[in-house]
Chain A
Amino acid sequence: MEGIPEFSLSCPIPISDYPHILLAHGGGGTLMHQLIEQMFVPAFRNPFLDARHDGAVLAPDGVRLAFTTDAYVVRPLFFPGGDIGSLAVNGTVNDLAMCGARPLYLSAAFILEEGLPMATLWQVVQSMRRAADVAGVQLVTGDTKVVDRGKGDGIFITTAGIGAISHRLTIAPTSVRPGDAVLLNGDVGRHGIAIMAVREGLDFETTIESDCAPLAGLVGSLLEAGIEIHCLRDLTRGGLASALVEIAGAARLRIAIDEGRIPVREDVQGACEILGFDPLYVANEGRFICILPSSEVERALRIMRAHPLGAEACLIGRVTGDPPGLVTMRSRIGASRVVDMLSGEQLPRIC
């Protein structure tokens, strides 16, 4: 099981130990993975789900498509650098981009809370339209439901997306090979901190904005240049660490990264120190990792750095063989440590 050590399979405490859903079940860490692995996947078992990737790659009648779905429940609805609307569009676009697909069509289902100001909804809708234009996608179908006051956080948005795949690669954890390099397109931690800052009332000398952005163009330029991409993963909930642990688990290989090479902005670092968070686990919405053969690194970095969303692209680690599923990090002082899956939501530390 991805990221979960072997011996926990024989753990005598079954999932019924959690009679209720906890917030941690949505946190992107171990509890969420347990829910997926022990309830959802077994219930719907098929080879597409087994690939464990962001989107499903389908080929009805030989036409290669990517298909994905997502739900957006962010609070606050509006934050520096975006809102639930732009998040919904870009998040879906990015899931498709991580299959190496060109995003084409989105659907959006809105669950609205009774009492939501009409002006708020209009702002969100406008924002979605703008994001869709920038990303080059069309919203082609949708649905609207309203729930009683008090039963929702204002707006919940569920999306689905379809994209076209014109490359012949299999971009998935199964394509990762020992010796591959791990590239990251920029600094981490901005989105999660931007959200927490609004929630916790932190002031900044310069506002930290979410990095929410569509990555399809950047990925597209890599594919057009013929770069042999093995795997892509965007860093959302659970941050860089969770994405790496998931891939290492799915690929059954080890990934070794270097702490000193992971870019984190000073103000994001400062906020993490105050809040007691580890930037490695903080959410992002415009960052992804690209795993590819070492021979392609120089060329890929050149292409990424030429794109506005990849200006700070860097090499952060390598894929090795053993032990499978492990992610290790060389700390700033040169010693090694394991990078684990988060067990629940990151909770702020006391001391």
Chain B
Amino acid sequence: MKFIDEYRDAVAAKRYAEAIARATTRPWTIMEVCGGQTHAIVKFGVDMLLPSAITLIHGPGCPVCVTPVEMLDKAIEVASRPEVIFCSFGDMLRVPGSTRDLLAVKAAGGDVRIVYSPLDAVRIAREHPDRQVVFFAVGFETTAPANAMAVVHARRQGLTNFSMLVSHVLVPPAMEAILASPGNRVQSFLAAGHVCTVMGTTEYEPIARMYRVPIVVTGFEPVDILQGIFMCVRQLEEGRAEVENQYTRSVRREGNQPAVRLIRQVFRVCPRKWRGIGEIPRSGLGLAEAYADFDAEDRFGVADRTADESPDCRSGLVLQGVMKPPECPAFGTRCTPEHPLGATMVSSEGACAAYYHYRRERLPEALPVTEP
């Protein structure tokens, strides 16, 4: 497909790998903060093309993975109510709450539906005026415009049976939390290309300055990621710490202004708990005062629910880049996609799931297949 295949080109990938190897004179540690990038790196094997001096760490870039347990419990409680049609992105259905997941609610007869857009949930609300339709609004800044749009549409159409369970998270505060934590080894970041398409790149400039880390806004295809890594390495080798943009075909410094305006209209910044990490101040989005009547937590009275994280799950350490999934004692034994201890083993962008599906075994060399 045009504008996708060119960025999966094997020859370009190899040339980038060589350029990176030539440019690297010392060990460097780079973190990528986007689940889509984690997925692409492990699926295409990008990290296997890099020189050993470069360490790639997977950051908390998977919104499904960082959704706190109590939010899952709230979702499960709401979805179990007979009058509710609970709409969600597919990924959330297998994430374990304290006792079960949304798929179990569906199996027990709950009306849980997979949608591809919150706008679909609004349509369902319009088509079922006798039911309460709840959308599980999980995501980084990338999905915020769509979620905001859904709320605005619902208000315009006068829908009283639509609400959202909001668990939005923001990237820059998470990056700062990682950089500020003692024992941090991250020296450079690949920033998420689609988050920045929406929000622009200016929020990262103070971070780069304050912590002296290069930040390169990067796309998702293997060639994009390799180019982003090259740009990080070059900055690191030259002692620079700036925000650079690799994903220029989609990202502009000022971002998408209509989208940002929409987000500011519907949402406000609030503290947010991150599964496995804890609460990070000013790291989430919640509904603004003017749209508070669309908040499902209030409508269904579940705002006060709390839950404890599983003591066996170490996904927090994985999400902060302190541990690689295969280093976790439960990896592949007590924790598998069929019996996950945490979200990172379930979400298709979770680091644990990516390693389980693509790297579980010691990998033999890639064999080219030739005609006889």
Q: Chain A: residues with CB nearer than 8 A to chain B? A: 5, 7-8, 10-13, 17, 20-24, 30-31, 34, 181, 200, 254, 256-258, 260-261, 266, 269-270, 273-276, 294-295, 297-298, 315-318, 320, 322-323, 326, 328, 330-338, 340, 343-344, 347-351
Quick check: A338 and B357 within 8 Å, CB to CB? yes
Contact check, A347 vs B94: say whether CB atoms are below 8 A apart: yes
Residues of A near B238 (CB, < 8 A) are none
Q: Which chain A residues border B371 with CB–CB below 8 Å?
A: 297, 315
The reply to whether A315 and B222 form a contact with Cβ atoms under 8 Å apart is no
Q: Does B336 lie at the interface of the complex (its beta carbon under 8 Å from any beta carbon of A)?
A: yes
- B339 close to chain A: CB less than 8 A: yes
Contact A347 B369 (CB under 8 A): no
Of the listed stretches B35-43, B251-259, B271-279, B282-290, chain A binds B35-43
Given contacts A276-B348, A295-B372, A332-B222, 5 further A-B contacts (CB under 8 A): A20-B108, A315-B371, A328-B367, A338-B363, A350-B63
Alpha-carbon distance between A337 and B334 when the two chains are bound, in angstroms: 23
Contact of B45 with A337 in the complex, beta carbons under 8 Å:
yes
**Is the Cβ of B103 less than 8 Å from the Cβ of A334?**
no
Task: Choose, from B136-144, B211-219, B296-304, B310-318, the stretch at the interface.
Answer: B136-144
Taking a contact as CB atoms under 8 Å apart, the answer to whether A348 and B333 are in contact is no
Q: Give residues 12-40 of B contacting A (CB, 8 Å).
A: 13-14, 34-36
Whose C-beta in chain B lies nearest to the C-beta of A267?
A: B1
Contact A349 B363 (CB under 8 A): no
Task: Give Cα A320–Cα B365 distance, bound, in whole angstroms.
Answer: 12
A330 x B44 contact (CB < 8 A) = no
What is the total of A-B residue contacts with beta carbons within 8 Å?
Answer: 177
Q: Nearest chain A CB to B333's CB is how many angstroms away?
A: 6
Q: In the complex, how many angstroms separate the beta carbon of B269 from the nearest chain A beta carbon? A: 21
Contact A348 B116 (CB under 8 A): yes
Would you list the 4 A-B pairs with minimal beta carbon distance, nearest first?
A335-B45, A347-B90, A336-B366, A343-B337
Within B200-238, the residues touching A (CB, 8 Å) are: 222-223
Is A261's CB under 8 angstroms from B369's CB? Answer: yes
Known: A338-B361, A349-B90. A258 touches B42 (CB 8 A): no
Task: Please determine whether B90 and A348 come into contact, CB atoms closer than 8 angstroms.
Answer: yes
Contacts of A315 on B, CB cut-off 8 Å? 369, 371-372
Q: Which residue of B lies closest to A202 (CB)?
A: B116
In the complex, residue of chain B having the shortest beta-carbon distance to the beta carbon of A200 = B116
A5 to B138, CA, bound (A): 33
**Complex: how many Å from CA A305 to CA B116?**
39
With A5-B332, A333-B10, A338-B358 already in contact, the answer to whether A347 and B93 are too (CB < 8 A) is: yes
Docked complex Cα distance between A343 and B42 (Å): 18
Question: Which of B1, B46, B194, B360 lies in contact with A269, CB distance below 8 A?
Answer: B1
